[in-house]
Structure 1
Amino acid sequence: MALGVVLAGGCTVKDSAAPPSRVVLPARFAEAPVTDGMHADLGRWWTQWHDPVLDRLVDDALAANPDLAVARDHVRQARGYVAVARSTLYPTVGATGDIAGGGLGWSNPAVPAALAPNLGDPATDGHLAGLAAAWEPDIFGGRAADLRAARAVAQSVEEQLRGTRMLVAADMVENYVASVDDLRRVALIDRAAAVLDRMEAYAGARMAAGQATRADIDAIRARRRTVLAARPLLVADVDTRRRRMAVLSGRLPEQAPAIPQPALFVIPPVPVGIVPVGVMDRRPDIRARRDLVQAALERLRSARTDLLPRFGLEFFGGNGRLRFDGLPGLSGSGGLMALTTYLPIFTAGRIHARIDVADARLDEAVTLYDQALLTALSEVESAYESRAALDVQGQGLSAALAVARRAAEDRLGLFDGGRSTLLDALQARLDAVAIEDAGVRSEDGRAMATIRLAVALGGGTL
């Protein structure tokens, strides 16, 4: 025991420390726009779409999503484990009680049965009741380390709840925005089909006048069928996304929400004024990894205390009685107290192996934390760059659409003046519709990049 105390004096759980992170965060994001704009409020970033239907759908999902319900149950479980770990720091007290009864057959071969005393009913009974207590003082801090580890794990589970909230909101926004864009494209397909119907009627009239051929009409019909071929896929995608939105809100797929008539909505501006260290402090996956590093460190500290002596206090106090019928009963009360100690001497390397395992798990936790940092930095940079590229594409398509619409108006004016055919005017209108469709697809890409950027920056975790 003296040797154990000497060893304990030179080894405490606080001697352990986590390996440092190898990731050095940059001062700013390389792909973030350089601007003095307002800092973005990422708490409810989807409200920047200014769409009350979208706001309601996200609120419904955050209130009734099954994944969030499961995550909240995980938090309850983790808090329960914290209570279990805390209980090991305190004594255990319990009551015991026993009662017994039976019968005995008395006989003595040296005494004739006729001369044996009459003992009446040869019965026996007894009882024992007492109070027991045991306590192992946490002298070297192993149990306290276990408690800190449980708390760190519970904090990581709470961060996972915040992360689930973030992903559920993003999932709802993504499906809603994509559905609206699909419906906008369906409307453009219908417009293009209507223009092709007019082209076919015009070509039929020209063929009757000997100015067009059957091949011209067949070509227009083939174009119309090609355009309409994309419509069922878009409608199916809308329905698939509507069913997904219903499930996100804890509803049956048959209760999918209705999507309002397509309307042009303003895509939120790019968040500015956000630095990497702020993102890492906000993102729940990074915070959870940080908590798990702390948990692994505390488990290593706890494992190292297994090399040290353990002391315990035990107490029992009680009252009992034992009676044999015909004989004087025995009864009494009292108590016992004991001081126990245990020092491991030979365990075939089991304790050191556990320490090595805990040490390796700590290294693993730090590596996973570094990996999460690198992944987060990459996600933010990629989302910023994607949004910037799509912004440039959108500006180009907007300019092209303005030119195409002006050309369509000019062609119609030339037709009205007898200087061009209606077919040329209708073709110019089709060209404008095609550019508008490309613009809608570009806006959808910008919206998806905005959603990815909001998630990468840790938005929606409140």
Structure 2
Amino acid sequence: MKNRLARVACMGGVAMAVGLAGCSPFHTRVPASHVVVPRQFSQTPTTTLPATDLTRWWEAWHDPALVRAVDTALAASPDIRIARDRVLEARAMHTVAKSALYPTVGATGNMMGGGMYWRNPATLPTSNDPGTDGHLAGIGASWEPDLFGGRHADVKAAKAGMKAEEEYFHGIQMVIAADAANDYLQAQGLQRQIALIDRSIGMLEQLHRYGQARFTAGQATAADVTDVDQKLSNLKARRPVLVADLDLVRRRLAVLSGQAPEGLPALAPPPAYYVPAPPVGQMPDTVLERRPDIRARRDQVDAALNRLKSAKTDLLPRFGLEFFGGDGRLRFDGIPGLSGTGGLIALTTYLPIFTANRIQARIHAASARLDAAVAGYDNSILHALAEVEDGYENRLSLDARDTDLTRGQHQAEQVASDMMGLYTGGQRTFGDVLSARMAALDAQASVLDNQASRTSATIQLARALGGGWQAESVAVHK
């Protein structure tokens, strides 16, 4: 009769749980995004060419040394290792969350021994054994069925968190690739500037000797020679600063590649300046789908949604099954020992009645975190769209500026050449020659500065478009 009542109670509890699950009000939805994604970028050049592949965008420079520098940084950067370990941690936590869906089984065992002093030994059977001993050994199991989906929601939240960490890993890859390429190409730009300084110093020294000879012949003034000396000193003063900047970039590239700052070998002379064309065929929806930070934000929204679902299920009753089976023996001095083998099974239930609004507060907190996650997702989308628009506009404006600066450089060099001829013919002063030469040097320096800006803008545009990581690199190994 008792067993029958127990089965009826068990079936009734399960039926009540299923009924509550069926009428659960916890149909949680994600707050709507407030961002309307445009169909295309306003700053992209119009073209019929296919979309540029940005997976390994640095290969567009056709520089094997650049490719090696980026690949080395991606393979050895400490930041990559940190991001990889965060993925491993998230995967482990996902396994921990899944373990709550299954029964927990464990073995227990206890042994004891000692002695007893009986106050009334006359009433007890005599025994020559003063010892007391006992043991208990068995297997216990417990399981909490996830009738309302709270633990499944925890698993989904953990999986979304794991995916977010994987996207963070991709984002670090993207940043490391951009930083390594920027440092390497910036070093080349500094090498070109140092080479220009050296050529300029040589030219001014030659001009100084020429002016000194003209001064000795009475065809130039002391002020002309002093002016050359002053400009020569200014150029020589700029060179150590450029060398220090080059060493700084080299050390930064070494650290980025996981090497000691002193271990990076000297860079080879830079090739002729080249910058690839800006990427084409990029659409807002594909860019947002490609960018790891947007994908991570989306995963964070998914995780926050499932955490809210899990928090809401704390308002509902919880059911559990427990089992214990084992063997035990207990013996006291002078008393016949007791031993036996058996098992116990129990159905447990818990329904929160009064928690001082603790559960409700957790639900409100989870709801606020979900709303904040959606707001963060919207914010990331807006910033991503702005970065792409800014990147395209910056690159295209620098391209137009390069055309004008290059034309101006050629014109300044022609003027300097013509001015030297006029001075030789006695139609211009030595100061005119010096001014024309310095103007040509300044024009060439402006072209070099703009080239460095174009390079940096191209790298930032590739990064804004979400290039620089590969899907197959998701597999993380120790």
TM range (shorter): over 0.9
Residue 265 (structure 1) aligns with: 273
Aligned match of 1:51: 63
Q: Does 1:127 pair with 2:135?
A: yes
- Residue number among 84, 107, 127 corresponding to 1:95 in the alignment: 107
Q: Which residue of 1 aligns with 2:94?
A: 82
Partner of 1:145: 153
Task: Report if the CA contact (8 A) 1:303-1:351 is conserved.
Answer: yes
Residue 253 of structure 1 is matched in structure 2 by 261
Structure 1 residue 438: Cα displacement? 0.6
Partners in 1 of 2:443 and 2:178 — Cα distance? Answer: 29
Mapped to 1, the partners of 2:314 and 2:17 lie a distance apart of 11
Aligned to 1:104: 116
Counterpart amino acid of 2:441?
V
Q: For residues 361-394 of structure 1, what are the alpha-carbon distances to aligned partners after superposition, in whole Å with 9 as ceiling and x for unaligned?
A: 0000000000000000111100100001100000
Q: Is the 8 A contact 2:108 2:137 kept in 1?
A: yes
Confirm or deny: 8 A CA contact 1:311 1:342 kept in the other structure.
yes
Q: Aligned to 1:255, what secondary structure does the other structure show?
A: coil
Residue 239 (structure 2) pairs with residue 231 (structure 1)? yes
CA distance in 1, matches of 2:109, 2:167: 46
Q: How far is the alpha carbon of 1:226 from its aligned partner?
A: 1.5
Give secondary structure in 2 for the equivalent of 1:311.
Answer: strand
1:33 equivalent among 37, 45, 49: 45
Bigger shift: residues 140-149 or 203-212? 203-212
Is 1:354–2:362 an aligned residue pair?
A: yes
Between the aligned partners of 1:299 and 1:365, the Cα distance in structure 2 is: 12
Q: Who is 2:225 aligned against?
A: 217
Instruction: State whether residues 116 and 333 of structure 2, in contact with CA within 8 Å, keep that contact through their aligned partners in structure 1.
Output: no
Q: Given residue 11 of structure 1, which amino acid in structure 2 is its aligned partner?
A: S
Verify the 8 A CA contact 1:303 1:358 in the aligned structure 2: yes
CA distance in 1, matches of 2:169, 2:39: 29
Change (3 A) 1:103 1:221: same
How big is each residue's C-alpha offset from its partner over 1:387-443, in whole Å with a ceiling of 9 and x where there is no partner?
A: 011000000011112222333444455567676677755654443222111101001
- Separation (CA, whole Å) in 1 of partners of 2:90 and 2:447: 49
Counterpart amino acid of residue 154 in structure 2: D
- Structure 2 unpaired stretches of 5+: 1-12, 471-478
TM-superposed CA distance for 1:263, in Å, is 2.4
Alpha-carbon displacement from aligned partner over 1:251-293 (angstroms, at most 9, x marks no partner): 1001123222132231010101000001100000000000000
**What's 2:24 paired with?**
11
Q: What one-letter code is carried by the residue in structure 1 that aligns with 2:99?
A: S
Conserved 8 A contact 2:161-2:303 = yes
Q: 1:327 aligns with which of 332, 335, 338?
A: 335
**For residue 76 of structure 1, what is the amino acid of its counterpart?**
L
Pair 417,203 (structure 1): closer, same or farther in 2 beyond 3 Å = closer
> Is 1:20 matched up with 2:32?
yes
Distance in 2 separating the partners of 1:418 and 1:110:
142
Structure 1 residue 197, shift from structure 2 partner:
1.3
Instruction: Identify which range, 213-222 or 143-152, moves more after superposition.
Output: 213-222
Q: Of the candidates 398, 402, 407, which is equivalent to residue 390 of structure 1? A: 398
Q: 1:110 to 1:54 in 2, by over 3 A?
A: closer
1:107-147 deviation line (CA, Å, top 9, x unaligned): 43768xxxx97521321111111110000000000000000
Between 1:279-288 and 1:253-262, the stretch displaced more is 253-262
SS at match of 1:307: coil
Contact 1:195 1:426 in 2 (8 A): no
Q: What is the SS of the residue equivalent to 2:267?
A: coil
Query: 1:25, 1:277 within 8 Å by CA — same for their partners in 2?
Result: yes
Provide, for residues 329-362 of structure 1, a one-character-per-residue CA deviation record: whole Å limited to 9, x for no partner: 2111011100011111111111111000000000
Partner of 2:6: none
Q: Return the offset for 1:200.
A: 1.7
How far does the alpha carbon of each residue in 1:180-232 deviate from its partner, in whole angstroms, 9 at most, with x for none? Answer: 11111111111111221122222222222223222222111111112222211
Considering only aligned residues, what root-mean-square deviation do their CA atoms show, in Å?
2.0
Deviation at 1:6, TM superposition (A): 5.2
Contact 2:224 / 2:430 at 8 angstroms: preserved in 1?
A: no
Structure 1's unaligned 5+ residue stretches are: none
* Residues 148 and 110 of structure 1, relative CA distance in 2, 3 Å threshold: closer
**Paired position in structure 2 for 1:60:** 72
Report how many residues are paired. Answer: 457
Match of 2:4 in 1: none
C-alpha contact 1:199 1:423 (8 A) present in aligned 2: no
TM-score scaled by length of structure 2: 0.91
What is residue 281 of structure 1 aligned with on the other side? 289
Distance 1:414 1:110, change over 3 A: closer
2-structure distance, mates of 1:26, 1:117: 95
| Residues in 2 aligned to 1:150 and 1:117: alpha-carbon distance in whole angstroms | 63
Query: Which residue type is aligned with residue 209 of structure 2?
Result: A
Instruction: Give 1:314's match in structure 2, choosing from 322, 327, 330.
Output: 322
Q: Secondary structure at the match of 2:262?
A: helix
Instruction: State the one-letter code of the partner of 1:454.
Output: A
Preserved contact between residue 211 and residue 430 of structure 2 (Cα < 8 Å): no
2:415 counterpart residue number: 407
Q: Helix, strand or coil: the match of 1:395?
A: helix
Residues 12, 305 of structure 1: 8 Å contact kept: no
Distance 1:200 1:409 in 2: 17
Alignment deviations for residues 46-81 of structure 1 (CA, whole Å, 9 cap, x no partner):
111111111111111111100000100000000000
SS at match of 1:230: helix
User: What is the CA–CA distance in structure 2 between the aligned matches of 1:233 and 1:418, rounded to whole Å?
Assistant: 39
Q: CA 1:137 to 1:130, structure 2 compared with 1: closer, same or farther past 3 Å?
A: same
Which position in structure 1 is the counterpart of 2:5? none
Is 1:163 equivalent to 2:171 in the alignment?
A: yes
The worse-fitting range, judged by mean Cα deviation, of 260-269 and 382-391 is: 260-269
Residues 204, 217 of structure 1: 8 Å contact kept: yes
The separation in 1 between residues aligned to 2:31 and 2:122, in whole angstroms, is 84
Which stretch has the larger CA shift, 58-67 or 411-420? 411-420
**What is aligned with 2:440?**
432
CA contact (8 A) 2:228 2:434 kept: no
- Residue of structure 1 equivalent to 2:473: none
Contact 1:134 1:312 in 2 (8 A): yes
Residue pair 1:246, 1:257 contacting (<8 A) in 2 also: no
- The share of aligned pairs that are identical, in percent, is 53
**Structure 2 CA distance for partners of 1:107 and 1:426, relative to 1, 3 Å:** closer
Bigger mean CA deviation after superposition, 430-439 or 137-146: 430-439
